[in-house]
Chains A and B, each alone.
Chain A
Amino acid sequence: MKVTLKVWRQKDAQSKGAFETYPMDNVNEDSSFLEMLDMLNESLTVQGKMPVEFDSDCREGICGQCGMVINGRANGHLEGTTTCQLHMRSFKDGETIYIEPFRASAFPVIRDLKVDRESLDRIIIAGGFISSHTGSAPEANSIPIGHATAESAFDSAACIGCGSCVATCKNSSASLFTAAKITHLAKLPQGQVEARKRALNMVKQMDIEGFGACTNTEACEVECPQNISVMNIARMNWEFHKAIL
């Protein structure tokens, strides 16, 4: 199949970017979207031109390193998917595809489609952990945790930290990301001891990083590759209020 790519090229955070047009012939419709970009990059490289920089690693939807805005949607038009899981067969032959980086103040562009998401790491550094030293753990079965509790903690813990929630949010809020971690640990008995401090510190860090406020539009849940529920955000709010009072 044939497609026309309009790829955002930007040298670094300071530069002004613009779309470049690349016509692509002979795209295999079984190839993934990123494999199609690999193809583009190989042809650019052979011509001695700088390839399009983009992040990707596992290419099976779990590492969270890939991510771009395709035709105006985070990770393309499919819901709940990572960019690497998007395949060319879901595009039309002859289609024009616009590719942009995730855009948010807290995600400065490094080059082209690569953005810096360290802000998400810093939110975890602020408190997204249980303070247990290696060696200090009690016997694993000493605290029974109900099946349903463990499963719902997993639902929150499944976050892959890709930042799609931020990219799709009209407010560029990292609430779903932050809430998923706060909720995961708040649901488990092990996480109770530090729940208060964790909620306060992570929420504050989220603000410091310059993410926006949640207005419950629920777009994040739709685009989240792990379908993490917006109810996590409500739980984060609850944990935060408890911590303040």
Chain B
Amino acid sequence: MLDAKIPEGKLQDKWNNYKAKCNIVNPANKKKLDIIVVGAGLAGSSAAATFGELGYNVKVFFFQDSARRAHSVAAQGGVNAAKNYQYDGDNVYRMFYDTIKGGDFRSREANTYRLAECSASLIDQAVAQGVPFGREYGGYLSNRSFGGVQVKRTFYARGQTGQQLLLGAYSAMMRQVNTGKVKLYNRHEMLDVVIIDGKARGIIARNLATGEIERHAAHTVVLATGGYGKIYFLSTLAMGCNGSAAWRSHKKGAYMAGVSWVQIHPTCLPQSGDHQSKLTLMSESLRNDGRIWVPKQKGDDRHPNDIPPEERDYYLERRYPSFGNLAPRDIASRAAKERIDAGHGVGANKNAVYLDFRTAINEYGENVIRERYGNLFRMYEKITGINAYKEPMKISPAAHFTMGGLWVDYELMTSVPGLFALGECNFSDHGANRLGANSLLQACVDGYFIAPLTVGNYLSGEIKTGKISADHPEFEKTEKEARELLDKLVNIKGNKTSDHYHRTLGRILWDKVGLERSKESLEAAIKEIRELREDFWQNLMVPGTKEEINSELEKAGRVADYLELAELMAFDALNRDESCGAHFRSEYQTDEGEAMRNDDDFAYVSSWEFDPKGEEPILHKEVLEFETVTPTVRSYK
């Protein structure tokens, strides 16, 4: 049985009770304590900045050339906060409820409530840093509406909210670099976490610009390494996004939870060929004015403009009349897949649906639409060469966000003492489906407001430990293992690239552990993944050596981890005999094709332990106790 260490008291008092009682470290002692942060996205930068402000010695590791590039930068829509500036009835409780319901009642009440509770402070924090949020003419902050909620609580900076929040956190961190409290290690990848006497005490990292292997010791290690959605190869994620830090920590004892809960975003550009390296996200906001349809007739090859209205199937409006085109992401994605699988897909590969602005253009005029989404239409034309004012966009669902990740307790500490996980790399707040504009929020809240206190609470017990030495035998051992792994990858000298394996794995996962899964598909996936992994270790080709800059070696290491993580995803999905949020098991659906949850048997977090000897991972259940809310059926009809 896993203990999440939820504080005592009523839901709304828990965080305050925790803050009142947690141990803190006095300023003189903070100087003696070292923290390693891995990842420099929103969660990592904001945590590192705050640790630095508090007076700890911080080292930050990230694979990009600059901390400003982490993929938080690409979030478009906005960030939610229960400020209630619109006086539309919003409050912390409502935001908490929307989030836990959006997650299909598969997240922890206390964590989710805390997320909503801290949201307002984040807006204050960001504004103080100079984040240029959208404003009304009177000078006050403006809000947008987002999917799955009935209030306007989304703050935004045009379509670049993630970029602006990240630059805020980045600049706060750079200020600490200026004071000398934070040291940056760019172009560095964590190879493994070092555990001494059961506690995380440092990492082994590879300098990607030189190939050097380095040891770094600290009193605690904080992972903020993002999600592993790139496992599908084609996703909305950046090329470098990976799950290696999380996976290697998992292999060192950290549990992973909700691993198969991956959000498939409905509005992305479809796959057009094998040349493609990623699928670009088109903001969800487009569904405010765009109508989604497919031809009623299977395999209809006519140009979309030649298909008369009565021969079009506006399937979201048909199936979900009250939410229509603005149905939540999991539902919209699944509905698209259903139509595509039934043979109604459009485009050269028959893998897309139309997102049509004709009605809106007729109603408001092209200029208004241009004003609202001009940048997105430009982006669409740049990538596809198609003018979407003249004909409908072709869109398709793509892997986007991983709700699952490293299991953490209320303090965001993994099952390994001293190893914390923040942001998307932990599993905590979103349950089985994340609401739009909550991911930026979670990354920031974890980094700015939660980790500085909970990590402090942990470090209060480390004051007498003294400097951690990187000469400890465990460092030596872990470094040796890391070197051996690299050597192994380099020395196969086969004939297939890591991209080949990644692409193949992605296809297996997309077909069998994607939008829809079944017992058969998952069992088949496990088999295929194992075979592919076998092949990988036989026939991989990594040119060059490990002692130099070598991007193929970087990719190979990540793919090696994906090939193991993928299997866990399949196990996780196989274990859960129900449908919830992003996890849709075809055996568990209503007659109308909607998800069928099973609260009696599955109201728990599946938390997996890595078993180095066994064939299968070991399941630990954290039972979700709903003290405040009552799980209900999510309906968007």
Contact present between A and B (CB < 8 A): yes
Q: Give me the interface of A with B, judged by CB distance under 8 Å.
A: 28, 30-32, 34-36, 38-39, 41-42, 44-46, 48-51, 53, 55-65, 81, 85, 87, 89, 110-111, 114, 116-118, 120-121, 124-134, 136-141, 143-147, 150-151, 153-154, 157-158, 160-161, 184-185, 188, 190-191
In the docked arrangement, what's the CA distance between A145 and B239, Å? Answer: 37
Closest to A155 in B: B132
Cβ of B136 under 8 Å from chain A: yes
Beyond contacts A50-B544, A51-B543, A63-B68: 10 other A-B pairs, Cβ-Cβ < 8 A, are: A31-B275, A46-B541, A63-B71, A65-B69, A114-B549, A117-B65, A138-B128, A141-B140, A147-B136, A147-B137
Q: How far apart are B576's CB and chain A's nearest CB, in angstroms? A: 32
Evaluate whether A45 and B128 lie within 8 angstroms (CB atoms) in the complex, with A57-B71, A57-B239 already known.
Answer: no
**Which of B157-165, B399-407, B578-586, B599-607 sits within the interface?**
B157-165
The answer on a CB contact under 8 Å between B128 and A137 is yes
Closest to A161 in B: B68
Evaluate whether A30 and B273 lie within 8 angstroms (CB atoms) in the complex, with A56-B239, A57-B238, A154-B132 already known.
Answer: yes
Q: Give the residue of B65, B128, B278, B496 whose beta carbon is less than 8 angstroms from that of A130.
A: B128
Chain B residues contacting A144 (CB-CB under 8 Å) are 135, 138-140
In the docked arrangement, what's the CA distance between A125 and B170, Å? Answer: 10
Instruction: Kindly identify, within residues 375 to 390 of chain B, every residue whose CB is under 8 Å from any CB belonging to chain A.
Output: 379, 382-385
Q: Give the residue of A58, A117, A133, A188 whose beta carbon is less than 8 angstroms from that of B73.
A: A58
Cβ of B67 under 8 Å from chain A: yes
In the docked arrangement, what's the CA distance between A137 and B128, Å? Answer: 6
Identify the interface centre among B121, B140, B167, B500: most chain A CB within 10 Å of its CB: B167
Q: How far apart are A179's CB and chain B's nearest CB, in angstroms? A: 15
Closest to B209 in A: A110
Q: Give the residue of A38, A49, A158 whose beta carbon is less than 8 angstroms from that of B499.
A: A38
Please name 24 pairs of A and B residues whose Cβ atoms are closer than 8 Å in the assembled complex, sorted by A.
Answer: A48-B541, A48-B543, A53-B549, A55-B65, A57-B240, A62-B74, A62-B163, A63-B74, A87-B382, A110-B549, A116-B65, A118-B186, A128-B174, A129-B178, A131-B175, A134-B448, A136-B128, A140-B126, A146-B135, A150-B135, A151-B132, A153-B130, A160-B73, A161-B66
Q: Give the 8 A-B residue pairs with the shortest CB-CB distance, closest first.
A: A144-B139, A137-B128, A129-B171, A31-B275, A137-B124, A154-B132, A132-B128, A63-B69
Instruction: Kindly identify, within residues 233 to 289 of chain B, every residue whose CB is under 8 Å from any CB belonging to chain A.
Output: 238-240, 272-273, 275-278, 280-281
Instruction: Kindly identify, within residues 64 to 91 of chain B, every residue whose CB is under 8 Å from any CB belonging to chain A.
Output: 64-71, 73-74, 83, 85
Closest to B158 in A: A154
In the docked arrangement, what's the CA distance between A143 and B135, Å? Answer: 12
The answer on a CB contact under 8 Å between B382 and A28 is no
Q: Give the residue of A126, A132, A151 whose beta carbon is less than 8 angstroms from that of B129.
A: A132
Cβ of B148 under 8 Å from chain A: no
Evaluate whether A63 and B73 lie within 8 angstroms (CB atoms) in the complex, with A81-B382, A85-B382, A129-B171 already known.
Answer: yes
Q: Give the residue of B126, B281, B552 whose beta carbon is less than 8 angstroms from that of A45.
A: B552
Chain A residues contacting B70 (CB-CB under 8 Å) are 63
Cβ of B495 under 8 Å from chain A: yes
The answer on a CB contact under 8 Å between A118 and B138 is no
Evaluate whether A64 and B68 lie within 8 angstroms (CB atoms) in the complex, with A58-B238, A129-B171, A144-B139 already known.
Answer: yes
Closest to B240 in A: A57
Identify the interface centre among A42, A127, A185: most chain B CB within 10 Å of its CB: A42
Contact mask for chain B residues 118-136; partner A; CB cutoff 8 A; 1 contact, 0 none: 0001011111111111111
The answer on a CB contact under 8 Å between B66 and A121 is yes
In the docked arrangement, what's the CA distance between A180 and B24, Å? Answer: 40
Closest to A51 in B: B552
The answer on a CB contact under 8 Å between A60 and B280 is yes
The answer on a CB contact under 8 Å between B65 and A65 is yes
Closest to A11 in B: B548
The answer on a CB contact under 8 Å between A60 and B65 is no
Chain A residues contacting B137 (CB-CB under 8 Å) are 146-147
In the docked arrangement, what's the CA distance between A38 and B71, Å? Answer: 20
Chain B residues contacting A153 (CB-CB under 8 Å) are 130, 132
The answer on a CB contact under 8 Å between A185 and B130 is yes
The answer on a CB contact under 8 Å between B66 and A120 is yes
The answer on a CB contact under 8 Å between A45 and B124 is no
Evaluate whether A31 and B140 lie within 8 angstroms (CB atoms) in the complex, with A137-B121, A137-B125, A150-B132 already known.
Answer: no
Closest to B71 in A: A58
Closest to A156 in B: B132
Cβ of B316 under 8 Å from chain A: no
